[in-house]
Amino acid sequence: MYHNPVLLQQSVDDLVTNSDGIYVDCTFGGGGHSREILSRLSERGKLYSFDQDLDALKNNIDDERFTLINQNFRFLENSLLMYGISEVDGILADLGVSSHQFDEADRGFSTRSDAPLDMRMNVMQSLDAKKVINEYEEEALADIFYHYGELREARKLAREIVHQRKSKKISTTEDLKKLFSYIPPHKQNKFFAQVFQAIRIEVNQELEVLKEMLLQAYKILKPGGRLVVISYHSLEDRLVKRFLKNGMFEGEPQRDIYGNYAKAFELIKSKATIPDEKEIEENSRARSAKMRTGIKL
């Protein structure tokens, strides 16, 4: 079972402005957003969707206007060029892990079930969570927990993992959780969510992949084309917010003598769009979602 698409109507309302246009859904998953986009397109419209997860291919849509590309969206530009597409009218990316990936216990994404330490969105890649936990140096582990999990006790966690793996390999999600059984019960849910998030981001290089996609999205969007991104944690949202503001991820843009700088996008709203209480009640995954939309200048 794939998740209900988050902010479905709002995202596609922002995205589709030309029914004859060419659109991209970077994160196909169960196909919810893609189906809604197709419902807004004419017979001349086209939609190209990306997903690196082999499970997602089972949800392919039988529609002449639709093409599903089994690739990570970091290969956005080159993959589209293979289909003769060099510019598009709009790009949508619904980031993060699908409910399906969480629910498939043997994928190792969920904190709720015992499973092999995996966490790969693309099961064909060699780097998995077991390799990160058992082979990374202590300092690298500490950096991952601090930067990707925003855990203040990152060094302590890394030290504990390195100490424990000397006597026994850490192979499953339960093995990992048992190392931190001293965490008070009322803090465990949040703590393990942060730990798993940090490892998952490293395994899938999620922030680097996001940066690559955003840069390519800007290149292939037509002037007036729209970029819609739904993120689920502050690390992603900060990158998206900065990029839509000035086309950069860090540092300050070059300003003219009047203090102005060349903007990459015009924001539809100054603040992120968030789900209403009804959607959160019906779909718990929506709770942390933030959507930002930019129009390429």
- Binding-site positions: 31-33, 51, 73, 94, 101
Residues in CB range of 155: below 8 A, 6 or more apart? 142, 146
- Report angle CA 103, 133, 124 to the nearest 5 degrees: 55
- Using CA atoms, how far residue 32 sits from 7, 43, 107, 237, 283, in Å, is 11, 19, 22, 22, 14
Do the Cβ atoms of 201 and 230 come closer than 8 Å? no
Dihedral sign of CA atoms 42, 35, 97, 173 in order: negative
Rounded to whole angstroms, what are the CA distances from 242 to 173, 217, 235, 246?
34, 15, 11, 6
Residues at the binding site for S-adenosyl-L-methionine are 31-33, 51, 73, 94, 101
d(CA 34, CA 32): 5
